[in-house]
Amino acid sequence: MAFLFNSDPVRAAVFRKVFARELPDVELFHSSECVDPEKVRYLLTWTAPDDIARYRNLEVLFSLGAGVDQFKRESLPQQVKLVRMVEDGIIRMMQEYVVLGVLSLHRDMVAYREQQKRQAWLGLAAPQAAERRVGFFGLGMLAQAAIERLLPFRFPLAAWSRSRKEIDGVTCFYGADQLAGFLARTDILVCLLPLTEETRGILDAALFSRLPAGARLLHVGRGPQLDQTALLQALDSGHLDAAMLDVTDPEPLPDGHPLWRHPKVMITPHIASVTQADSAAQSVVDNIRRHRAGEELIGLVDRTLGY
C-alpha cells in the first residue's frame, strides 16, 4: 500500500520520517520516484495530476493546503475522498495573522506607514476596541480559531456563515437574509470564506456599500472573491479606510498593479498561513488511521458544497 507525495522533496523527507515511525506498512513515494500506480491508496498534492485516473485504487486525496478550490472536483474519480489540510501549523499561523491584521487595521497602521513616508508625527483619533466591531465573513475552523485569540481584546465580534452556527461570545448571522444586518454592524471585515461559485466576486461594490463608512477589510480568503476594482473605488471614494490583503487575483499581483502602491492598502504575498511539514504529516497519519478504522475524516470535503 502506497502514499504518493506530490510536492517538494524537503517536505517529503519530513513525511517519510513520520510515516516510517507511525505507519510502517504504508510506503511513501515522492512523485519523482517510480511507483506501481495500483499500489497508490493515498495521494497528497496541491493540484490533481492529469493522470490521476491511473491510480485506480486511490481512496483519499489530501490537499496540501487548507483550501480545495484549486481542484476540479467534477474531474476527480467519484470514489475518492477529498480532504482539506487541517493541521496545527496552519491554524496557529492563521491565528497570528488575523490578530496581526485586525490590530493593524484597528490601530491605523496603514495610515501611519504613509505618515512615516512623509515624516509626519501625527496621532490619529481612534476608537477603543470595545467600539470597533469586527465581523468574520465565514465561520469555519480557521475563523473560529482566530476568534478564540481575538476574544481578550474585547472587540464586539460577529460572524456570518452560510448555515446556522453558534459560537460563545460572537453574534452569529447566517444565510442570505442576514447578510445586510451583519455588514451594517461591521467596522473590520475579515474574509475567511472558502472559494466556491457562490463566493467568487462576493466582495464587490454592493457589499462594500453596505459596510459602515470608514470600514476596513482584512482579506485572507482567496483572491477571486474580491473585485479589486471595486475595492480601489471604495478606498478612493473614502467609504473604506484601509485594506490588508494576503490574497490577490492573479497571484503574484502583476507589476504596476494599482493595489501595489495604494496608500490605503497593505499587501502580503499569500503567507498568512502555510502548511508545516511536521504537524501536517502527523495530521495526515491520524487521518489515515481514522480512514482505516472506518471513522469520519477530519477536513473531509462535501463535494457538492465545495468545502
89 binds ligand GLV (CB under 6 A): no
Residue nearest to ligand GLV (CB): 65
Closest residue by Cα to residue 51 from 69, 76, 26: 76
Cβ 275 to ligand GLV, closest distance in Å? Answer: 6
User: What's the min distance (Å) between Cβ of 280 and ligand GLV?
Assistant: 10
Q: φ, ψ for residue 154 (rounded to 5)? A: 70, 25
Distance of closest approach, residue 67 Cβ to ligand GLV, in angstroms? 3
Smallest separation, CB 63 to ligand GLV (Å):
7
Size of the site for ligand GLV (CB under 6 A): 7
C-alpha cell at position 251 = 497571484
Q: Is position 65 an interface residue for ligand GLV (rule: CB under 6 A)?
A: yes
Active-site residue numbers? 222, 270
The piece of 11-19, 61-69, 71-79, 186-194 that touches ligand GLV (CB under 6 A) is: 61-69
Q: Report how far apart, in Å, the C-alpha atoms of 75 and of each of 59, 83, 304 are.
A: 15, 15, 13
Residue corresponding to grid cell 477530519: 298
Binding span for ligand GLV by CB under 6 A among 59-67, 98-106, 136-144, 207-215: 59-67
- Please say which residue, 68 or 159, places its beta carbon nearer to ligand GLV: 68
Does residue number 111 form part of the binding site for ligand GLV (CB under 6 A)? no
Q: How far apart are CA 106 and CA 96, in angstroms?
A: 15
CA distance 161 to 260: 30
* Cα gap 210→230, rounded to integer Å: 13
Q: Which of 2, 18, 43, 66 binds ligand GLV (CB under 6 A)?
A: 66
Examine residue 263 and say whether the peptide bond preceding it is cis (omega within 30 degrees of 0): no
Q: Which CA distances in Å does 262 have to 74, 239, 241, 257, 270?
A: 39, 15, 12, 9, 18
Which CB, 63 or 111, lies closer to ligand GLV?
A: 63
Please report how close the Cβ of residue 196 comes to ligand GLV at its closest, in angstroms: 14
Nearest to 203 by CA among 178, 228, 169: 228
- Would you say 275 or 287 has its CB closer to ligand GLV? 275
> Among 67, 89, 156, 306, which residue interacts with ligand GLV (rule: CB under 6 A)?
67
> Strand pairing partners for 40?
2
Q: Which amino acid is at 157?
A: L
Which of 90/230 has CB closer to ligand GLV?
Answer: 90
Question: Which x/- pattern over 258-297 shows residues binding ligand GLV (rule: CB under 6 A)?
Answer: ---------------x-x----------------------
Query: What's 36's DSSP letter?
Result: -
Dist. CA 127–CA 285, nearest whole Å: 47
Q: Measured over all CA atoms, what is the biggest interatomic distance in the chain, rounded to whole angstroms?
A: 67
Shortest separation between residue 245's beta carbon and ligand GLV, angstroms: 13
Binding site for ligand GLV (CB under 6 A): 65-67, 85, 90, 273, 275
